[in-house]
Amino acid sequence: MPVALITGISGQDGSYLAESLLADGYQVHGIVRNSTEENLSALGSHAALTLHSVDLQAPDALENVVALTSPDEVYSLAAISSVAASWKDPVQTGAVNGQVVVRLLEAASGVQERSGHPVRVVHASSAEIFGQAAETPQVETTAIRPSSPYGASKAYAHLTVGVYRGRGLHASNTILYNHESPRRPETFVTRKITASVARISAGLQTGIELGNLDARRDWGWAPDYVAAMRLAAAAPNPDDYIVATGVSHTIADFLDAAFARVGIDDWSGLVAVNPEFVRPVDPAEQLGDASKAHRELGWAPSVDFETLVARMVDHDLEHFAG
């Protein structure tokens, strides 16, 4: 039975990834802060699933779990995942998103050296490493020049994956563009929108406050992006892969699709722009070219933008109706 270790198993991606691995007969170990984290309930109880409560920043704690589990595959997903939050605590963001990943790579490399069996590592990198991108769409060789503490922390981890790849570790970066699902927390603008639209439709809320409505993002379906991570782990050679749909939309487009799902065509009186929600530096557009992933991994997105938004709104309508 192959063994996988997932940091950040309770997050959106981690929970979908765990489900996928368990369905394929893996023994799955997940690192959590506590047993009540969001999305853990989606995994239920499974004989092949073991959770480890670990403070990722505690000395040797992460390394001990890697040594104990001796995994065949390691998925590095744990992160402070909010760009806005990274501006409020850039030091903590750098520690969790950067240094923890370096320690994970070193621990995986150590297991490989001691055991003699290969360990494959996939790190969830981010489109934020490109910042105010030099080109659109972005490709794997686009210049890395982050414009936020979050992007800088992800860039550090991303580049260190390449360092360990050079040392003989099968270490890959999946450069993930925005990807959503009903498992996103409301701290993300997409889920904030769909949950608010559902509440407005149910008469439980009167409006939404958002930031820049003109920012353009490349949005995909989270389970599709998890599938790309698994394909990267299984690839004959490690590499970096952009995972994106190649189509961008504005926040206003997302609002159009969400409100249309509940039969509201004109949302102008329901949405207000709050300057407090506008980031200090925000890339105008993030758009990825996933040709390499299509060509080398056989990956392609399966859910389009309108379907993604509809699924999220429908989920929230059902939730608030209940």
Query: Pairing state of beta strands 3-7 and 27-32?
Result: parallel
158 contacts 173 by C-beta, under 8 angstroms: yes
37 contacts 105 by C-beta, under 8 angstroms: no
Active site residue 285: no
Catalytic one among 16, 26, 75, 150?
150
Q: Is 4 left (phi over 0), alpha (psi -120 to 50) or beta?
A: beta
**Nearest CA among 15, 23, 3, 20 for reference residue 65:** 3
Using alpha carbons, list the distances in angstroms from residue 95 to 61, 92, 226, 295.
15, 5, 24, 35
212 contacts 278 by C-beta, under 8 angstroms: yes
* Helix 305-321 × helix 189-201 angle, to 10°: 50
Catalytic one among 126, 148, 172, 196?
126
Q: Can you read off the two tokens belonging to residue 4?
A: 């996988």
Catalytic one among 128, 180, 196, 241?
128
Q: Can you read off the two tokens belonging to residue 100?
A: 């923890």
- Cα distance between residue 75 and residue 149, in whole Å: 22
Active site residue 153: no
Active site residue 126: yes
Q: What are the residues whose beta carbons fall under 8 Å from the beta carbon of 127, sequence distance 6 or more?
A: 138, 175, 176, 177, 178, 218, 242, 244, 286, 288
Q: What are the residues whose beta carbons fall under 8 Å from the beta carbon of 248, sequence distance 6 or more?
A: 216, 217, 218, 285, 286, 287
Q: Can you read off the two tokens belonging to residue 155?
A: 């860039």
Q: What are the residues whose beta carbons fall under 8 Å from the beta carbon of 273, sequence distance 6 or more?
A: 209, 210, 211, 212, 213
Task: Enumerate the active-site residues.
Answer: 126, 128, 150
